[in-house]
Chains A and B, each alone.
Chain A
Amino acid sequence: MAKADMLGESLWDAYSNKVTTLMNNPQHQGEITPEEAEAHGNKLIVADFGAESCGDAVRLYWEIDPKTDKIVNSKFKSFGCGTAIASSDVMTELCIGKTVQEAVKITNIDVEKALRDDPDTPAVPPQKMHCSVMAYDVIKKAASLYLGVDEESFEDEIIVCECARVSLGTIQEVIKLNDLKTVEEITDYTKAGGFCKSCIKPGGHEDREWYLVDILEQTRKEMEAEKMKAAADAMSAGGGNFEEMTLVQQIKAVDAVIDESVRQFLIMDGGNVEIIDIKKNDDNIDIYIRYLGACDGCASSATGTLYAIESTLKEKLSNKIRVLPI
């Protein structure tokens, strides 16, 4: 939050002039009849995407020259808001003159960029970005009908955020590479979840197959498992970095060092020591101990003995260790 967030922007103020103009006066709105297409010797494809019941629906008409696969004319109909009408109009414009194979490469990002007044300013507010996604989807549907292939054959990866077209693989990779811990961080790194927000968690504008919260949790679990496995492998290989170990591994390692180098001397004097806890404090690793028997209350336990234990652990395990008697 900041000063700029204290007063929400009017939704329509965030629309580009192009969006406004096309909403008021769409250039390609209308229908192409089978008779028209036939008269030109062309094939007519009519595809629907979305549904009125979802609040957004678009119907795309393509008149295609079967000899060249070129879209010679295109129109649309739309039940939707300003963004839906404007983006359908631009989508139709972008299709005309392209072959079906070329048109299928048009993404919602292309549509949104074509609606910008200047290249650096988004054409619509973030929550309206999903309206341009429909344009992308309806093209895929029309192309699949013409080419007689499954729509999914146009997708080679799982798209989690349709608005920013970010794939599952990309999200998992940035979480792992940058050790991301929150959804906000994922949005900062990838833009996923930064627009209509449906992909963040269930309950948004539309149901999604994948949600960022679940991907984050699952990926973090995998990272944790990988880390533990690496630590376990390092331990069994006879060493490993103390700072990277799990808490249980650290306790075992500390106990082993104390058993091997310290405890026998304490027992000789009728005393002993037990490990209470290990905590990471900024740059230090604090090991909390309690003296037992003769060591408890011995003057040396706060000076010489403590120094001996700490230096042994530092030498054998890590320089960051501090030993703190309770």
Chain B
Amino acid sequence: MQVYLDNNATTMTDPQVVEVMQPFFSEIYGNPNSLHKFGTASHPYLRKAIDQVYTALNASDNDDIVFTSCATESNNWVLKSIYFDKIVNGEKDHIITTEVEHPSVLATCRWLEEQGVKVTYLPVNEEGIVESHTVKSFITDKTALVSVMWASNETGMIFPIKEIGEICKEKGVLFHSDAVQAVGKIPVDLQDVHVDFLSMSAHKFHGPKGIGALYIKDSQPLTPLFHGGEQMGHRRSGTLNVPYIVGMGKAIELATTNIEKTMASIRAKRDRLEDALLELSDTFVVGSRENRTPNTILISIRGVEGEGMLWDLNNGQIGASTGSACASEDLEANSVMLAIGADNELAHTGIRLSLSRFTTDEEIDYTIEHFKSAVARLRAISSSFAKVAPTPGGEAGECHIPHHMAH
């Protein structure tokens, strides 16, 4: 049996999504900007996809939702454009974000710092989230933008976006949320919360890879990243990726219709898996279940190094992650675990299991069984669980934690 439990990294494309995309590779291939019927033939489908995305997010007709290549592009677009729109001219000089954002936000912020922008990286609390009063206390007259993720890719913890949005609105500061891990997993209602910009990516909710979107409230001005033709209301040039836009529309519709029911089903499987794994001694899961996306578990198993565990799971045909897939070749401890105050040993033991609506009960049973035997094997090898004490003087010395891992 093969079990895919890395759905926070990416998801299987729903077969229904694949089906609606097919004609746009073969029959309806015209450039939608062309005036002839080969091009205009795709317009009704594109309009439908746009409607599907606006409906799924409950966006207003005054808002813009621009298709991008991915959420990384959307995040880069917001941060770099704020720099050109508000910071280069001296109007503002400050951006607030968090220590636990996706690399596409953190790396862009670090680049902006090189350009002279002041960036505040807010720490998370023991639940792994940034509290709204913390955001409030760092906003100044010079703050151009607050950028806070909606839900964590690593822990699944849901951030207080509604409260942060209200604070930003009251203070007159623009607010961006990277909602990649929220859209399609939990309700995202743009009439209920105040955000100026919101990033999303189709492949996180069973859409195709290579297509994302940026929501821009009330048609806020934002310098384009791509200049060129007149596509997407002059906001993003480049020939429209018709099959993928159509696929994203279908995927978001499937993911958000009856979302409460889907969430309940995924949550039940997740909780059963979590309960079973927590029966193992010396394990702990990050964050309360109620405030977590219903598909995610970040579990630590004392004495079992994360990559070693991943190796054994992989041998058992189970796909999991040690944290963010973007950082899976890094040697560092899990930064979120460190941020929430886990000790350094535990921070090296985090395994992320993320389910989808396609995860079955049989897969959960198989995972529980294989997970437990992998832990038993690796703990038998583990020096943490050794019974014989070292010869006096043979104990390990102090560990020097690299600078970037210190908090």
Residues of A participating in the B interface, judged by any CB pair closer than 8 Å = 8, 11-12, 23-24, 26, 29, 31-34, 44-59, 61, 77-82, 84-85, 127, 130, 141-142, 145, 196, 202-207
- Given the interface pairs A57-B383, A77-B382, A80-B308, the reply to whether A51 lies near B391 with Cβ below 8 Å is no
Q: Which residue of A lies closest to B343 (CB)?
A: A53
The reply to whether B307 and A79 contact each other, CB–CB distance below 8 Å, is: no
Secondary structure at chain B's binding surface: helix, strand, loop or mixed? loop
The reply to whether B383 and A24 contact each other, CB–CB distance below 8 Å, is no
CB-based contact A31/B307 at 8 Å: no
Q: By the criterion CB–CB under 8 Å, are A53 and B345 in contact?
A: yes
Check if B381 is an interface residue, CB within 8 A of chain A.
Answer: yes
A203–B402 touching, CB < 8 Å:
yes
Structural contact, A82 and B311, CB atoms closer than 8 A: yes
| Distance of A8 Cα from B330 Cα, bound (Å) | 13
- Contact pattern, B 344-373, Cβ under 8 Å of A = 1, otherwise 0: 110010000000000000000000000000
CB atoms of B307 and A46 under 8 A apart: no
Q: How large, as a class, is the contact surface on chain B?
A: 35 or more
- Contact stretch, chosen from B7-15, B94-102, B272-280, B392-400: B392-400
Q: Which B residues lie at the A interface, using CB under 8 A?
A: 303-305, 307-308, 311, 314-315, 328-329, 331-333, 343-345, 348, 380-391, 393-404
Residues of B within 8 Å of A52, CB to CB, are: 303, 344-345, 348, 383-384
- Supposing A53-B344, A127-B329, A203-B403 touch, asked if A48 and B395 sit within 8 A by C-beta, the answer is yes
Contact between B308 and A81, CB atoms less than 8 A apart: yes
List 10 A-B pairs, Cβ < 8 Å. A11-B329, A46-B389, A46-B391, A48-B396, A51-B398, A55-B333, A80-B305, A82-B311, A202-B403, A207-B402
In contact, A205 and B402 (Cβ under 8 angstroms): yes
Contact between B386 and A81, CB atoms less than 8 A apart: no
The smallest C-beta distance from A38 to any residue of chain B, in angstroms, reads: 13
State in angstroms the CA–CA spacing of A64 and B329 once bound together.
39
Shortest B318–chain A CB gap in Å is 14
Which A residue's beta carbon lies closest to that of B389? A46
Per a CB cutoff under 8 Å, which of B305, B314, B315, B385 touches A81?
A: B305
State whether B333 touches A49 (Cβ < 8 A). no
A256 to B401, CA, bound (A): 59
Are B394 and A142 interface neighbours, CB within 8 A? yes
Which A residues touch B345, using CB under 8 A?
51-53, 79
Interfacial chain A residues near B383, Cβ < 8 Å: 48, 52, 57-59, 77-79
CB-contact partner of B394 in A23, A47, A77, under 8 A: A47
Q: Enumerate chain A residues within 8 angstroms of B305, measured Cβ to Cβ.
A: 55-56, 79-81, 84
Which of B387, B391, B395, B404 is the one whose CB lies under 8 Å from A31? B387
- List of A residues within 8 angstroms of B343 by Cβ: 53
Interface pair B399/A82, CB less than 8 Å apart:
no
- CB-based A-B contact count at 8 angstroms: 125
Tell me the complex Cα distance, A44–B332, Å.
34
Checking B314, B332, B391, B400 against A12 with a beta-carbon cut-off of 8 angstroms, the contacting residue is: B314
Bound CA–CA A61/B333 (angstroms) = 27
In the complex, chain B residues whose CB is within 8 Å of the CB of A26: 381
Flag if B394 contacts A31 (CB, 8 Å): no
Task: State how many angstroms separate the Cβ of A322 from the closest Cβ of chain B.
Answer: 40
Contact of A206 among B380, B390, B400 (CB under 8 A): B400
Alpha-carbon separation in the docked complex, A308 to B387 (Å)? 90
Q: How far is the CA of A30 from the CA of B375 in the complex (A)?
A: 16
Shortest distance between the CB of B20 and any CB in chain A (Å) = 29
In the assembly, what is the distance between CA of A56 and CA of B331, in Å?
Answer: 10
* Alpha-carbon distance between A324 and B328 when the two chains are bound, in angstroms: 58
Cβ B381 vs Cβ A77 within 8 A: yes
Complex Cα gap A11–B322 (Å): 13
Is there an interface contact between A8 and B308, defined as CB atoms closer than 8 Å? no
The residues of A that contact B390 with a CB separation of less than 8 Å are 46-48, 59
Report the minimum CB–CB distance from B72 to chain A (whole Å): 16
The docked-state distance in angstroms from the alpha carbon of A141 to that of B390 is 11
B391 with A44: CB separation less than 8 A: yes
Report Cα–Cα, A145/B388, bound state, in Å: 16
Complex Cα gap A34–B390 (Å): 11
Residues of chain B contacted by A8 (CB below 8 angstroms) = 329
Known: A52-B303, A52-B345. A79 touches B388 (CB 8 A): no
Nearest first, the 5 closest Cβ-Cβ pairs linking A and B are A53-B344, A52-B345, A47-B394, A81-B307, A77-B383
